[in-house]
Amino acid sequence: MTMHSAKTNPGRFFEDFYPGLSLPHATPRTVTQGDVALTTAFYGARHALFASTPFAKACGLAAAPVDPLLVFHIVFGKSVPDISLNAIANLGYAEGRFLAPVAVGDTLTATSDVLGVKETSNGKSGVVYVRTTGRNQRGEAVLAYARWVLVRKRDPASPAPTDSAPNLAACVAASDLVLPKGLNLTGYDFGLGGSIAAFEDYSVGERIDHVDGMVVEEAEAQMATRLYQNTAKVHFNQFERASDPTGRRLVYGGVVISTARALSFNGLENAGLWLGVNGGRHVNPFFAGATLFAWSEVLDAQRLPGRTDVGALRLRLVATKDRPCTDFPDKDAQGFYPPEIVLDLDYWAAVPSRG
Amino acid sequence: MTMHSAKTNPGRFFEDFYPGLSLPHATPRTVTQGDVALTTAFYGARHALFASTPFAKACGLAAAPVDPLLVFHIVFGKSVPDISLNAIANLGYAEGRFLAPVAVGDTLTATSDVLGVKETSNGKSGVVYVRTTGRNQRGEAVLAYARWVLVRKRDPASPAPTDSAPNLAACVAASDLVLPKGLNLTGYDFGLGGSIAAFEDYSVGERIDHVDGMVVEEAEAQMATRLYQNTAKVHFNQFERASDPTGRRLVYGGVVISTARALSFNGLENAGLWLGVNGGRHVNPFFAGATLFAWSEVLDAQRLPGRTDVGALRLRLVATKDRPCTDFPDKDAQGFYPPEIVLDLDYWAAVPSRG
Amino acid sequence: MTMHSAKTNPGRFFEDFYPGLSLPHATPRTVTQGDVALTTAFYGARHALFASTPFAKACGLAAAPVDPLLVFHIVFGKSVPDISLNAIANLGYAEGRFLAPVAVGDTLTATSDVLGVKETSNGKSGVVYVRTTGRNQRGEAVLAYARWVLVRKRDPASPAPTDSAPNLAACVAASDLVLPKGLNLTGYDFGLGGSIAAFEDYSVGERIDHVDGMVVEEAEAQMATRLYQNTAKVHFNQFERASDPTGRRLVYGGVVISTARALSFNGLENAGLWLGVNGGRHVNPFFAGATLFAWSEVLDAQRLPGRTDVGALRLRLVATKDRPCTDFPDKDAQGFYPPEIVLDLDYWAAVPSRG
């Protein structure tokens, strides 16, 4: 007799989430030099702080931290099997903060706590709000962020839960940003950094066309997504995607973010140290083979309490596909995005100050 | 005057092999964190034991071992220039055992010993049986397996050697399996492992559809095969493959095995530690761009001598191309495989037991 | 009001270069085990000296050096934003010497010094000659080479500078080659090296067809080029390349060199330690998807002062696309290259001697 196993993870449905539910995720993950090299190979970012041990030490750190977005992608990847396996869409991010630097040799684990749930009006699905926290091997939080996801109901007939959608901040307050312990940018080497531009040189309202364009190949997108142990099937299962109207695998949104961020080096050379993510939306799908372009806008510039060596810039990063950003393509007055815009992200970065 | 060099390795032909011949292979290879990260990027496996140093230490090991299949691919790759450069086909594997864990920093070398030879009836080729042993820098065997290969004769007129084909075991006895020294799964963290399923929860005859599907891209297959320093030209030389009836490069069989095994995480989360390979066949070629699916069957479940913390499952791993495994596609009653099945592998894995 | 930023690097034009100008490049770069693994994955080279720590130690070195070409590509990549962002063509290399081995953990920086400039006859561009020096974290030079690049003028009307083109040596003198400190190949293990061929076994005039062919995929070329943090847009921006007559991204020449060099293992197994680059030209563009082949010619063989364990071979490496090298395809009597030849490189390599 053949037994069919029920061991395969079917993923949670909307009914399985409730406020207060805490979901520790599987697969602790030691970050290695290999992850760092692959990050460079996937995106080509050139921020000196993550590329050079002596440079990082000259900035007061014990070791070169790994790119904050690598930490984000690994932590996010862990949450997929428990949160978004039956997700219809990833709706947004908020209240993201990088709380401690991660170095090669550190081991990351992650837990998601359900903040609230809200059934959609058609009764077939609902929005689940979670806060995901990544921790190192000492249990210290290194990253926390909220996200909300549209999840299928197992049974459309099941009753709607009480609406418990949380109020999430539109922007992380500059005073809540956390600088890496020991960071001291007093003697920051702008030459090695790649630009003379300091915190003082950026003005609120300033827009920067990052000029360069970069293709994301299917193999690159898949390898990056696997490196993050992100299992969402839309990125890998072409057989199934063939019956989607697009007929294509989707590039993981994190790959789009990291590619756009690497392009943003050209004009934001010294702003690699992300401190927070205020919000972000993948406003159109991105498919492999297209050329990604990006532009940035300075939304805010804040001194940090007690610091003269470093300030925080609030930046908006917009990425387009097959569309140069010379004229800063943007949403229209009604808030609608043209199809060539794929990303609209709002974040905080630390930038060295001349004091 | 132009001299044409004879330094290029032409590979051995059937006549060059005889029982007792021992072939030490070139290029000792230190395993690095980079190899580990690339393994994750190529396949996306999520077994905690290989991903996390603290998890491996909690299992009694000094360091996270590298994925046993990475060891297999590196050792196999070394044997290609000496064994299978003029091979027509790789016919099978048997008696594979992982004898000691390999950690980052270890250096692998390999030797193949010819077990026997048998000319084919048409007189143009013959089967060569070898046992390949991989060793670490201390000379300790870390892996040994037999394989047999169909090899061209240099000269069809050369006389047939005495048939010396060995008898190879259909299955490694559970009592011959070797657990990593120090391994203690008494306190195994099933939550971090990704499933509550323990040795006790699997039943002989049980079948598991691993659900997920994954494309292998040409660049991924080539990069993995190069990482293993496997030089078989069918994987790289498209110019030459253009005149093959398929017109395509073949994906290295080891890439198919590792991809199928990564898919099998979904249902076999705690069975990542392979102890032996009983047999395996690539029953149809796999070409890049197809989506790979997999299902498993529990063939046997054996307690290990003196152990209550861990048992051994004998598992059959079947992989298909562009064909989901919901209904467990299989060979027919006559033993013929449909064209969508690409792999049929039989192996032993260690699985934590509740005691 | 929207402010348009001028922070983006527009690159230097011909007018911006003058003899004596020294350009320290951005982004110091710590070399990691990940870089080493990716180098293997991109090219599949099998030289024991770079693959195995124990082998390197048996050759008298403290650690396995990283592939000299990895050092070249990283140093070259750093120079791109300062030298060749507005380059029309990379015209040639000369006087390249590897001056000290680089090990995992070393941090590379680079500086380019302008040797001379020469306006072209049409007045629209000029040739810039630079010497680029790579240094480790102790400030020791690890690599220096001259290259000359055709660079656009900002303004065709600007006056021509005095011709200051330098005289560059056609070949590095063998007596100027620098062996890694401590290198001792007296007990070189030719078996592990992959061939019994020693320095003595190669004759001036000898030609070697490296037999094997290898495809370079677009994803592989992009990932390698990003790993070197080389930002030249011809390698990444398909949207812009679509309006080039070829319609294709160009594969970075360094990828062609490293692929051809990996192919050359088959026949030059013990010649992996490059000491110098005498000259090199990318005589036709190479596009992803083609199969690369290579052949070599021994141009010279020189004993090194005071050494019986090692000699230097001067080698010519010719690479072709979609064209096997059985008959050693070459330029014609007038020096014109057929379209299938993509590379003609002249270098020195250290080869173990039997004494």
| Contact assessment for residue A281 and residue A311, using Cβ atoms and an 8 Å cutoff | no
Q: Cβ A218–B217 below 8 Å, yes or no?
A: yes
Distance of residue B185 Cα from the nearest chain C Cα, in angstroms: 30
Closest CA of chain C from B37, distance in Å: 8
- Tell me the C-alpha distance between A143 and A112, whole Å: 12
Closest Cβ opposite residue B207 in set A3, A27, A218: A3
Chain A: residue nearest B42 by CA?
A: A223
Which chain B residues are Cβ-neighbours of A225 within 8 angstroms? 44
Q: What is the pLDDT of residues A224-250, one digit of tens each?
A: 999 999 999 899 999 999 999 999 999
C133-191 residue pLDDT tens: 999 999 999 999 999 999 999 999 999 999 999 999 999 999 999 999 999 999 999 99
Which of C7, C24, C225 comes nearest A191 by C-beta? Answer: C24
Please name the residues in contact with C215: beta carbons below 8 A apart, sequence gap of 6 or more. B218, B222, B236, B237, B238, B249, C289, C290, C291, C292
To the nearest whole Å, the CA of B252 is away from the closest chain A CA by: 16
Interatomic CA distance for residues A249 and A224, integer angstroms: 14
Please name which of C351, C259, C265 lies closest in space to residue C69, comparing C-alpha atoms: C259
| Strand ranges inside chain A, DSSP E | 3-4, 22-24, 29-30, 87-98, 107-119, 125-135, 141-152, 206-209, 214-215, 273-281, 291-303, 310-321, 341-352
- Confidence at residue C348, expressed as pLDDT on a 0 to 100 scale: 98
Question: How high does pLDDT run on average in chain B?
Answer: 96
Tens digit of each residue's pLDDT (9 = 90 or more) over B106-128: 999 999 999 999 999 999 999 99
- Looking from the CA of A52 toward its CB, the CA atoms found within 13 Å total 24
Average pLDDT over residues C43-49: 97
Residues B306-327 pLDDT 10s: 999 999 999 999 999 999 999 9
Dihedral angle over CA of A220, A224, A229, A231, nearest 10: -50
Residue B1 has pLDDT above 60, yes or no: no
- B199 contacts chain A (CB < 8 A): no
Cα torsion angle, A133, A135, A141, A142, sign: negative
Beta-carbon contacts of C105 under 8 Å, excluding residues fewer than 6 positions away, are A53, C30, C31, C32
C-interface mutation test, from A67, A199, A266, most C Cβ less than 10 A away: A266
CA C41/CA B221 separation, integer angstroms: 10
Residues forming beta bridges with residue C152, ordered by sequence position: C125
Q: How many CA atoms lie within 13 A of A143 on its CB side?
A: 30
Determine contact, residues A96/A144, Cβ cutoff 8 Å: yes
Q: Which residue of B197, B214, B289 is in closest CB contact with A237? A: B214
CB contact under 8 A, B41 and A227: yes
Partners of B277 in the β-ladder: B96, B347
CA distance B84 to B253: 14
List the beta strands (DSSP E) in B153-305. Answer: 206-209, 214-215, 273-281, 291-303
- pLDDT digit string, tens, across residues B118-165: 999 999 999 999 999 999 999 999 999 999 999 999 999 999 999 999
pLDDT at C293: 98
Whether the CB of C252 is below 8 Å from some CB of chain A: the reply is no
pLDDT at site A339: 98
Nearest C-alpha neighbor of C40 from the set B81, A219, B38, B84? B38
How far CA C275 is from CA of A133, A216, B50, C95, in Å, comes to 50, 36, 39, 11
**Residue B2: band (very low, low, confident or very high) from pLDDT cuts 50, 70, 90:** very low
Q: Does C27 touch chain A (CB under 8 A)?
A: yes
Q: If DSSP codes are grouped into helix, strand and coil, which group holds residue A94? A: strand
Element (H, E) at B5: none
Q: Do A194 and C38 touch (CB under 8 A)?
A: no
The chain B residue lying nearest C211, using CA atoms, is B8
Residue in chain B closest to C299 (alpha carbons) equals B2
A40/C229 Cβ within 8 A? yes
Shortest Cα distance, chain C CAs vs residue A322, angstroms: 6
Touching check for A162 and chain B: CB below 8 Å?
Answer: no
**H or E stretch including B288?**
none
- β-partners of residue B296 are B208, B317
Q: How many residues does chain C have?
A: 355
Q: For residue A2, what pLDDT is reported?
A: 45
- Is the CB of C5 inside 8 Å of chain A's CB atoms? yes
Q: Do B27 and C43 count as a contact with CB atoms less than 8 A apart?
A: no
What is the arithmetic mean of pLDDT over B237-258? 97
pLDDT for A88 equals: 87
Q: What is the pLDDT of residue A33?
A: 97
**CB–CB contact C192 B26 (8 Å):** yes
Of B35, B105, B239, the CB nearest to C213: B239
Q: Hey, which residues 55-114 in chain C have their CB within 8 Å of chain B?
A: 55, 64
pLDDT higher than 50, residue C192 = yes
pLDDT of B7 above 90:
no
- ipTM for the complex shown: 0.96
Q: Is the pLDDT of residue B355 over 90?
A: no
pLDDT, block means (10 residues), chain A with 355 residues: 66 95 98 98 97 98 97 97 88 96 98 98 95 98 97 94 97 98 97 97 97 97 98 94 96 97 98 97 96 98 96 98 98 97 98 95
For residue A211, the chain C residues in CB contact (below 8 A) are 8
Do the Cβ atoms of B205 and A3 come within 8 Å? yes
pLDDT for res C11: 85
State whether A219 and B217 contact (CB < 8 Å): yes
CB burial of C306-316 (b: ≥16 within 10 Å; e: otherwise) equals: ebebbbbbbbb
Q: Is A163 helix (H, G, I), strand (E, B) or coil?
A: coil
Residue from the list C29, C33, C231 with its beta carbon closest to the beta carbon of A212: C231
Q: How far apart are CA C189 and CA C59, in angstroms?
A: 9
3-state SS of chain C is CCEECCCCCCCCCHHHCCCCCEEECCCCEECCHHHHHHHHHHHCCCCHHHHCHHHHHHCCCCCCECCHHHHHHHHHHHHHHHHHCCEEEEEEEEEEEECCCCECCCEEEEEEEEEEEEECCCCCEEEEEEEEEEECCCCCEEEEEEEEEEEECCCCCCCCCCCCCCCCCCCCCHHHCCCCCCCCCCCCCHHHHCCCCCHHHCCCCEEEECCCCEECCHHHHHHHHHHCCCCCHHHCCHHHHCCCCCCCCCCCHHHHHHHHHHHCCCCCCCCCEEEEEEEEECCCCCCCCCEEEEEEEEEEEEECCCCCCEEEEEEEEEEEECCCCCCCCCCCCCCCCCCCEEEEEEEEEEEECCC
**B28/C210 touch (CB, cutoff 8 Å), yes or no:** no
* Chain C: closest CA distance from residue A218 (Å): 8
Q: If you measure CA to CA, which chain B residue comes closest to C324?
A: B239
Of C207, C213, C217, the CB nearest to B240: C213
Nearest CB neighbour to C222, from listed A53, A192, A220: A220
Distance of residue A223 Cα from the nearest chain B Cα, in angstroms:
5
Chain C contact present for B247, CB below 8 A: no
Q: How far is it, in rounded angstroms, from Cα A197 to Cα A148?
A: 36
Structure tokens at C4: 């348009």
Q: Which residue of B236, B248, B250 to mutate against C (max C Cβ within 10 Å)?
A: B236
Q: Do C217 and A218 touch (CB under 8 A)?
A: no
Nearest by CB: B8 against C33, C208, C215: C208
Q: What is the pLDDT of residues B47-105, one digit of tens each?
A: 999 999 999 999 999 999 999 999 999 999 999 999 988 888 889 999 999 999 999 99
Assess whether pLDDT exceeds 90 at residue C9: no
Q: Which chains would you list as touching C if contact means 3+ CB atom pairs under 8 Å? A: A, B
Residue B5 confidence (pLDDT): 60
- Closest chain B residue to A11, measured at CA: B266
For an interface test with B, the pick among A2, A4, A7, A104 (most B C-beta atoms closer than 10 Å) comes out as A7
Q: Using CA atoms, how far apart are residues C191 and A181, in angstroms rounded to an integer?
A: 51
Q: Give dist(CA B248, CA B290) in Å, integer.
A: 13
| Partner residue opposite A192 with nearest CB, options C3, C27, C239 | C27
Q: Ramachandran region of residue A229, left (φ > 0), alpha (ψ -120 to 50) or beta? A: left
Q: Are strands A291-303 and B3-4 parallel, antiparallel or unpaired?
A: unpaired
- Interface residue C8 vs chain A (CB under 8 A): yes
Instruction: Return the residue of A nearest to C230 by Cα.
Output: A44
Chain A 281-310, CB below 8 Å of chain C: which residues?
289, 291, 293
pLDDT for res B270: 98
Give the phi and the psi of residue B58 in degrees, each rounded to 5.
-65, -20
Record: contact B4-C194, CB cut-off 8 A: no
CB proximity C158 to A under 8 Å: no
Q: Any chain C CB within 8 A of the CB of A34?
A: yes
For residue A185, the model assigns a pLDDT of 98
Nearest-CA distance from A256 to chain C in Å?
15
Chain B positions in Cβ-Cβ contact with residue A107 (cut-off 8 Å): 52-55
Q: What is the pLDDT of residues C70-127, one digit of tens each?
A: 999 999 999 999 998 888 888 999 999 999 999 999 999 999 999 999 999 999 999 9
Q: What is the pTM of this model?
A: 0.97
